[in-house]
Amino acid sequence: MNIITSNKGKYHEYKKIFPDAKMLNIGYHEIQADSLEEVVEHALEGLKEHAPLIIDDSGLFIDVYHGFPGVYSSYVMHTLGCQGIIKLMDGFDNRDAAFECVIGHIDINGDSKLIRGRVSGSITKTMKGTHGFGYDPIFKPEGHDKTFAEMVTDEKNKISHRGKAMEGLMRYLDITL
Amino acid sequence: MNIITSNKGKYHEYKKIFPDAKMLNIGYHEIQADSLEEVVEHALEGLKEHAPLIIDDSGLFIDVYHGFPGVYSSYVMHTLGCQGIIKLMDGFDNRDAAFECVIGHIDINGDSKLIRGRVSGSITKTMKGTHGFGYDPIFKPEGHDKTFAEMVTDEKNKISHRGKAMEGLMRYLDITL
């Protein structure tokens, strides 16, 4: 299984499911689109020669801002950062948001499949915690009193968007750990 | 000359330079990239069969936010809007920003050329004016006391990013009106 990513952390997570996984750090174009599904589907089209493979894309979707930053979460992280998001939420009672992850998989026969994971939660008023990356310090998953950045990796993965998408992938591929 | 756009206003502006221009409303993928040049260059690749043609892409680049919203200006307009940008600028003395436009052109021989236009200015503290569209109500060009939205089209076009890029295109193609 080829894991198409430049992110070693991501690669090591997939290696837990696929012990023989190889990390393939090749560039691919992410298109501007409304949904992670569109971004991943378009990326898969250009990668078929590397099957079997996995790619994934994640994003934070804030309710009052129509899903912003969504598919542009990575870009927005590097420009506005968590503090910019906190500023944008100023004055809003509705701080609802969700993290989503879409995994794209192409099997050895060239058949492709998209699998989605989602976790609802809210944007905190200040940054909390030091674990994880990206928006983890300002995202508190529903039913929990801690942000993702206040959870250790295993704790986060049990409830996270990518964790859920990976569970879905394992069910789809009939893999048991 | 084919003008690749879904925007009739844009088409009519180009028609002033190219009286025989045709509007070609065909979809093309805009990639996620750091610069308008990259977006336009990638779009041109898939459009060669329609030459001679023109496409363009524009964006607002805010200094303190590392060029945000940049190539994602249209998406950010539809999610955060002008009020979101005003909120983000809260507390910053440096309100410098620039509008940029990149025109991509492919001639009848298949040769392509990118031409850029830029106007410096600042983000206002409130929305002003009713002309134009997008970020016009919060962008005040350098050396002027009005926002783009307080200017009529001809006045704006003389100093605007797209106006400048169009001038550059006319010089490049040796067109005089």
Count chain A–chain B contacts defined by CB atoms under 8 A.
Answer: 63
pLDDT digits (tens, 9 = 90+) for A123-154: 999 999 999 889 999 999 999 999 999 999 88
Residue B177: pLDDT over 80: no
Tokens found for residue B70: 């940049």
Contact A87 B88 (CB under 8 A): yes
| Helix runs in B30-80, H state only | 36-45, 73-79
Half-sphere exposure of A33 (CA within 13 A, CB side): 16
Q: Provide the pLDDT for residue A34.
A: 83
Residue of B171 and A177 predicted with greater confidence: B171
Contact B87 A87 (CB under 8 A): yes
Domains of chain B (ranges; CATH) run: 2-173 (3.90.950.10)
Residue of B99 and A132 predicted with greater confidence: B99
Residue B96 known to be catalytic: no
pTM attached to this predicted model: 0.85
Residue A177: pLDDT over 80: no
| Rounded to 5°, angle at Cα B107 from B103 and B113 | 40
B115: CB partners within 8 A, 6+ apart: B102, B103, B105, B165, B168, B169, B172
Q: Provide the pLDDT for residue B176.
A: 84
Contact B90 A88 (CB under 8 A): no
Q: Which residues of B touch A (CB under 8 A)?
A: 29-32, 42, 65-72, 75-76, 78-80, 84, 87-88, 90-91
Q: How far apart are CA B70 and CA B61, in angstroms?
A: 5
Q: How far apart are CA B24 and CA B3, in angstroms?
A: 6
Output A87-95 pairs: Cβ under 8 A, ≥24 positions apart: A87/B87, A87/B88, A87/B90, A87/B91, A88/A62, A88/B80, A88/B84, A88/B87, A88/B88, A89/A62, A89/A64, A89/A123, A89/A125, A90/B87, A90/B90, A91/B87, A92/A64, A94/A63, A94/A64, A95/A64, A95/A122, A95/A123, A95/A124
State the amino acid at position B157 in one-letter form: N
